[in-house]
Structure 1
Amino acid sequence: MGALSERRVREIYEQFAHRRLNDLEHAIDENIDFLSHAPADIFPYLGRRRGQAEVLRAFTEVHEELEVLSFWPLTTVVNEDRAALSVIVKVKDRATERSAHYRAAHFLRFRDDRIIECCAIIDSLDAARQLARQETAVQDS
């Protein structure tokens, strides 16, 4: 495999954003270690996941619960087998129709063109506040 590139990393993010999980399967190592720092009561499908099947199942749950309106990497830094991204995420809850727009930071490590480690930190407090504000606004009307 060639050197990791920003283009390859952005391609992987496009696959996730557009729910192309069959394509994404080829970008995730069989033994991936995935950790997303997010409160389980707000994002129960995130947290720590190990192995390709478990991570893909979590991604499936994300897309079942949320419509990903945008998942846009603002910055992408690639160095050898690692990538770091700042991401703007906009989602809509499929059940409630409420939306949230928040920031995230992702840190990836690759081997043989596949992600072997992923650590994601999302501004879940911001997302929760947005969803609560919408709920309050509806109740006050």
Structure 2
Amino acid sequence: MAEHSFWRFSRTLHRAINDRHLDDIEALLDEEVDWTLYGPIDMFPFLGARHGKHAVLDVIREISDNVQVRRFDRETTMLGIDSAASMLRCSLTVRQSDKSISLRAAQFARFKGSRLVSMRVLVDTFDLIEQALGRQIHLPKMT
């Protein structure tokens, strides 16, 4: 049985971010890939929607310039024939400050053949913002 496209893509993305080498990930992206990382784009400009292989490579490069992945734990993964969904816990290090950041995310991927055609990632942005600011955010209580 052949390896699912998701596993190959996931390993290659991890290496692309940490090693800043994008040639291998480029081969796994469809020319018209649709990519969205949901989160506060004002604070993290590499979040948001991108379309097309070159735009996605640019955002992966920008992520790589900002963070390094220390640990990547999948809490749950579901695989379809050409799709995958996963809950993740990521431990990252901010390259500029060596600060540790931990986040949870849900990712949803679709493939055509062995190439990624769609990626959606939902990040626990409230926790991420608190870590980036270095303090808790106090919200008014809802009644």
Whether the 8 Å contact between 1:10 and 1:73 is mirrored in structure 2 is: no
- Number of residue pairs matched? 132
Whole-angstrom CA distance in 1 between matches of 2:54 and 2:73: 25
Write out per-residue CA displacement over residues 54-102 of structure 1, whole angstroms, 9 at most, x where no aligned residue. Answer: 0011000001011221233332211121110111111121222222101
8 Å CA contact 2:6, 2:109 repeated in 1:
no
Does the 8 Å contact 1:99/1:131 carry over to 2?
Answer: no
1:16 aligns with 2:17: no
Tell me which protein shows more helix as a share of its residues: 1
Alignment RMSD, CA only? 2.0
5+ residue gaps, structure 1, are 135-141
Q: Which residue of structure 2 lines up, in the alignment, with residue 137 of structure 1?
A: none
Deviation at 1:119, TM superposition (A): 0.7
Moved over 6 A (4+): none
Asked whether the 8 Å contact 1:3–1:80 carries over to 2, the reply is no
Cα distance in 1 for partners of 2:129, 2:22 equals: 26
Matches of 2:3 and 2:81, distance apart in 1: 7
Unaligned 5+ runs, structure 2: 136-143
SS, match of residue 134 in structure 2? helix
The correspondence of residues 14-53 of structure 1 with structure 2, limited to 5 A, is: 14-19=11-16, 20-53=21-54
Q: Any conservation in 2 of the 1:87–1:103 contact (CA below 8 Å)? A: yes
CA distance in 2, matches of 1:15, 1:26: 10
Matches within 5 A, 1:16-95: 16-19=13-16, 20-95=21-96
Report the AA paired with residue 15 of structure 2. H
Aligned in 2, Cα 1:109/1:78: closer, same or farther, shift over 3 Å? same
TM-score calculated relative to the size of structure 1: 0.84
Tell me the distance in 2 between the aligned counterparts of 1:14 and 1:130. Answer: 26
